[in-house]
Amino acid sequence: MLAFSSSAKRAAPRIFPVRLFSTTTSLAEKVKLDFFSKEDCGLCVNAKTILDKIIQDKDSSLKNEIEYKVYDITKPENKEWWDSYCFDVPVLHITHEKSTKPVKFMHRLDQKKVIDEINRTI
């Protein structure tokens, strides 16, 4: 059972802003990537490796500006996400600037599908 201690350090989620611009004449759209994981999770390690490759790829085909946050759902400040995803991590939310709901990827990430969703325009 996971216990949350009130004396535990509370750290904000890590934010990794990445600015990528399209080579076309249109302005890049902002896309938020919210990655939910926990320690000792093999699928989470694999998914994070895929996300890191996508974001750090110098020859990336990403066309939109990315804001990337990682949430450790075992931390007390992320209890809401623990309640939602304790048995479903890893989970990736991709939210486009003009959309109302995120697109969710759960358990295993497919690099091509994630890139296609990031590049999708609304």
The CATH number linked to 96 is 3.40.30.10
Alpha helices in the chain (DSSP H): 42-56, 79-85, 111-119
| 28 vs 50, more confident | 50
When pLDDT is averaged across residues 94-114 and rounded to a whole number, the result is 93
Residue 4 belongs to a domain: no
pTM here is 0.74
Residue 1 belongs to a domain: no
When pLDDT is averaged across residues 49-55 and rounded to a whole number, the result is 91
> What domain count does the chain have?
1
The residue segments making up the domain with residue 48 are 14-119
Residue 26 belongs to a domain: yes
Residue 8 belongs to a domain: no
Residue 87 belongs to a domain: yes
Q: Which residue, 43, 61, 80, is CA-closest to 120?
A: 61
Confidence at residue 1, expressed as pLDDT on a 0 to 100 scale: 47
- As given in the structure block, the two tokens for residue 94 are 């991709």
Residue 5 belongs to a domain: no
Residue 2 belongs to a domain: no
9 pLDDT band, cuts 50/70/90, is: low
Whether pLDDT at 54 is above 80: yes
